[in-house]
Structure formats: C-alpha cells, structure tokens
Amino acid sequence: MIMVRGKEEDFGAMDQQRYDEMLSGLELAKIECVCSSRGMKVHGYYERSIHSSEGETKLRVMRLKCPCCGRTHAVLPSVLVPYQQLCVRDQHQMVIAYEKGESPENVCTPEAAFDENNVRSVIRRYKKFWRAKIRQLGEDFHTDLCGLLDLCRMMFSAQFMQIRDAGCVIFT
Ligand SMILES: [Zn+2]
C-alpha cells in the first residue's frame, strides 16, 4: 500500500478526477517499496468505493508492482484509511463529537454514505485501538487533522484509525 499525501489542507471528498490528477503528479521511479528498492511499474487498476459525508464515490485505483520483491501496492490518497471505506476526515469528525460528549451520530447528514451503525463501529474501533494512543500523544487533536495525521505517521507508522498493518509507505 502506498499512501500519497496530497495537499493536506484539502480533505474534500476524493473523486476520479482528483485522484487521476494526484497520479499524474507522481514520480513512480521515486517511490520506494517496503523492501527498499525502487522502480515500481503499473500493475493494473481495481475499483474501490469511498463513503463520505458527501455520498458514495467509486474510484479506479492504480496498483503498482515492485520489480524486486514482486509485492503489489495500491496507491491511495491520504484522505482514505487503508482497508476502510470511510474517509479519515469523517471518522475524525465522529471521534471529535464523541470526545466532546456530543452524539457522534449527528455527523450523519442526509447526503452521507454512512449511517448510525457505521458511526458506532467507528467509535468502537477508536476506543479499542486509538483512544489510548491519542492520549499518549497528549495532543489537542480536536481541531487539527493534518497535525494529527503527521503525528500518527511519525509515532505509529499508520494512518489515523487504521487497524490493519498495510505495509504502508507514505509518499509525499
Ligand atoms: Zn519490493
């Protein structure tokens, strides 16, 4: 998995056009595999759904293959969380509401491609896997998502709310 850190201040919903623009700015030769070699080649595409507060989007995601170890890597924008459909921004909003003692279900708007059950799962995951870590950071993460994501990458080598090890490479 290769997470491409785009313009971090822009966490709007990802669509195909923005994704393709992100890909066109990528220098494949510079991306390093988890095995430390370079020279990734395009190895096809697959379709993935993204669920956000603005609705559902399908994304044609590029996959790369390392010529050295043969691993394949999906190229994902940093607005996503590996192996999850909900955008990191929306999950962050739910967690903020929860931590403020508000009802996280209020994040569900009529356009949102998630419901109360999804929100409850996010909060469960947060409490089980992330709450203690965030407290350990001692950061005021309630406002600054960019700062939080940077910290999580630095301290835990993971995207905020990621629970599966994805052999993740962050590429900026
Ligand atoms: Zn490799």
Q: How remote is the CA of residue 120 from the centroid of ligand 1, in Å?
A: 37
Q: Residue 172: pLDDT above 80?
A: no
Contacts of 76 (CB under 8 A, 6+ apart): 1, 2, 3, 4, 61, 82
Q: Residue 78: pLDDT above 80?
A: yes
pLDDT band per the 50, 70, 90 thresholds, residue 106:
confident
Q: Residue 8: pLDDT above 60?
A: no
Residues 155-169 have a mean pLDDT of 80
Q: How remote is the CA of residue 43 from the centroid of ligand 1, in Å?
A: 13
Of the chain, the percentage scoring pLDDT greater than 70 comes to 88
What is the model's pLDDT at position 166?
64
What is the model's pLDDT at position 143?
62
Burial of residue 54, with CB atoms counted within 10 A of its CB: 0-12 exposed, 13-18 middle, 19 or more buried: middle
Higher pLDDT, 17 or 168: 17
Whether 85 contacts 66, CB under 8 Å: no
Q: Residue 165: pLDDT above 80?
A: no
Q: How remote is the CA of residue 72 from the centroid of ligand 1, in Å?
A: 8
Q: Which range among 16-20, 81-85, 124-128 has the greatest average pLDDT?
A: 124-128
Q: Residue 38: pLDDT above 70?
A: yes
Q: Residue 9: pLDDT above 60?
A: no
Distances (CA, A) of 68 to 40, 105, 107, 165: 9, 46, 44, 21
Q: How remote is the CA of residue 92 from the centroid of ligand 1, in Å?
A: 32
Q: How remote is the CA of residue 152 from the centroid of ligand 1, in Å?
A: 24
